[in-house]
Amino acid sequence: MSVSPVIITTWRFGLAASVRGLELLKSGSSALDAIEAAANVTELDPEVNSVGLGGLPNADGIVELDAAIMDGLTHAAGSVAGVTDIATPISIARKVMDLTPHTMLVGQNARAFALRNGFHTEELLTEKSRKAWQEWQKERSASDVSHFTSGPPILTPDNHDTIGLCALDTHGNLAAGCTTSGMAWKVPGRVGDSPIIGSGLYVDNAVGAAAGTGHGDEMMKAVVSYRVVQNMERGMTPEEACIETLRYMMAKRNPELHGNYGAALIAVRKDGLVGAAATKSGFAGPDRLWQWAVGKDDCTLHEGVYVTPTEIIPSLLT
């Protein structure tokens, strides 16, 4: 029996990826292939400044990319972190999964592995992203060796985001993916939540799939995507599962330090029901409201479902 396919992606910029993914799913592609091809659309779009080509760089002006992919059918996963000069890290992650006995490769060796497997290098900094980095450099104090202690904030509304993707194919199989340049101006070598299986993404064919975007340094400590899938296994809807996970995560954070950070989760249950939630509406700034793109019969953008810090941590109300 054929199942109605579904794809769900994070952010407004996920819409083009969802369109491509749904097209493939409708023509019978596996969820895994659809996720990879859909993610490639965003990775290769130079206008998206937080993923692949045109992504904002680390503090040294180098674009370092993180990505992962996971197959619900086989429970196999592949992941790469800190990859430079290659625009499509989710496809390298797929090769790690398909061609090696390992799950994760990092840095220069992930890059070398990709080159041995037919990938090519290119300049990932665009004129726009180079200028943004130069502006940040100008404002930064020369004595700020840690990149954090002085100067402009490392995390601003418009300098990070991930495309997280979850899909259900016509055979009833699920897959999930994530790809990002991470936080702009990050300390070189910093790896976020996106390539961490269980944090940036997780899928269990018997239950559902989940993926995230937001402040990865905090999200990874709550292993959020794994928790969303576990919540669905315990009977919650995808939306309830995302909300409960964000509440849990926020309750564990020190509100003085982390009360205002942004995090968002998307999920698909094995029967095709979708859901999402975010810690706040404008964590990516007033122009970048939390939205996610759902591809079912056609592709539509959705907004809303906010779990605000004030709702979770009463001390913030004062």
Name the site residues for ligand ASP (rule: CB under 6 A). 160-162, 180, 182-183, 192-194, 213-214, 216
Q: How far is the CB of 71 from ligand ASP (least distance, A)?
A: 21
Structure tokens at 252: 């564990």
What distance in Å separates the CA atoms of residue 289 and residue 303, rounded to the nearest whole number?
8
Q: Which residues are catalytic?
A: 162
Q: How far is the CB of 278 from ligand ASP (least distance, A)?
A: 11
Q: How far is the CB of 176 from ligand ASP (least distance, A)?
A: 14
Question: Nearer Cβ to ligand ASP, position 25 or 110?
Answer: 110
Q: How far is the CB of 279 from ligand ASP (least distance, A)?
A: 12
- Apex 127 CA angle, 126 and 130, nearest 5: 80
Backbone angles phi, psi at 173, to 5 degrees: -95, 150
Cα–Cα distances (Å) from 52 to 32, 124, 154, 162, 267, in that order, read 19, 7, 19, 10, 23
Q: How far is the CB of 118 from ligand ASP (least distance, A)?
A: 27
* Contact predicate 196/190, CB 8 Å: no
Residue whose pair of structure tokens reads 């564990």 in the numeric block? 252
CA of residue 64 relative to chain centroid, distance: 14
Question: Nearer Cβ to ligand ASP, position 160 or 253?
Answer: 160
The bridge status of strand 77-83 relative to strand 104-106 is parallel
Structure tokens at 28: 């019978």
Question: Nearer Cβ to ligand ASP, position 193 or 204?
Answer: 193
Question: Nearer Cβ to ligand ASP, position 56 or 77?
Answer: 56
The bridge status of strand 299-303 relative to strand 208-214 is unpaired
Question: Nearer Cβ to ligand ASP, position 5 or 177?
Answer: 177
